[in-house]
Amino acid sequence: MALFGRKNDSATTATVEADPALAALTGEYTIDPAHSTISFTVRHAMVTNVRGSFTEHEGTLNLDGSNPAASTATIDVSIASVDTGMPDRDGHLRSADFFDAETFPKMSFRSTSAEQIDAETYRVTGDLTIKDVTRPLTIDLEFHGSATDVYGNERVGFEGSATILRSEWGLTWNAALETGGVMVSDKVKLNFDISAIKKAPEAA
């Protein structure tokens, strides 16, 4: 099922637009923070990975079944909610050495385009803002489908990732190791596991 537009011939486009299951998904969705995870993985001391997440975030998805390429996504993340399981490390990440959470409390993503890659994979491109730097980011997402939960909420699910160089967003702190290399890798993998609930239409 296509949720985001694919550059293809007109016959294929017409078939996708006529899909009643796709049309039924059209609407605005609110990301459910209790069932969604925004996390990261980064190499530490050249030999192991440190994993963390941002426990406070919010966002919306606007899915357009008639014109899937017009679908959009927004995400806002509270930097102060960073959690790697070590309070001292989390405090360092919040400090001016890294995110400077007091001055720049939010990390945000605003989509600018979307396309279908294959039957299950979608590619969303947008602007990622960290601190005072905004740069383009492309996220490959797997669509996990839609369902109605036990409370009657209509849900959609996506999972995806993207790899960035943190230095491109001004996150340049590091320390040299005696054995060579650096304490923290420049390469960071961002992970998105999203469950979103469809908003009820407003009464006329």
pTM: 0.86
Structure tokens at 198: 């469809």
Smallest Cα–Cα separation from 63: which of 112, 10, 25, 13?
25
pLDDT tier, 77 (very low <50, low <70, confident <90, very high otherwise): very high
Give ∠ CA 176-87-106 in degrees, rounded to 5.
Answer: 85
* Residue 97 host element (H or E): none
Smallest Cα–Cα separation from 74: which of 129, 140, 156, 119?
129
Whether the per-residue pLDDT at 11 is higher than 80: the answer is no
What is the average pLDDT score of the chain?
A: 88
88 phi and psi angles, rounded to 5 deg:
-65, -45
Assign 106 to helix, strand or coil: strand
* β pairing state of 154-165 and 133-148: antiparallel
pLDDT digits (tens, 9 = 90+) for 18-50: 356 667 888 999 999 999 999 999 998 788 899
Whether the per-residue pLDDT at 157 is higher than 60: the answer is yes
Whole-number pLDDT of residue 145: 87
CA 13 remoteness from chain centre:
26
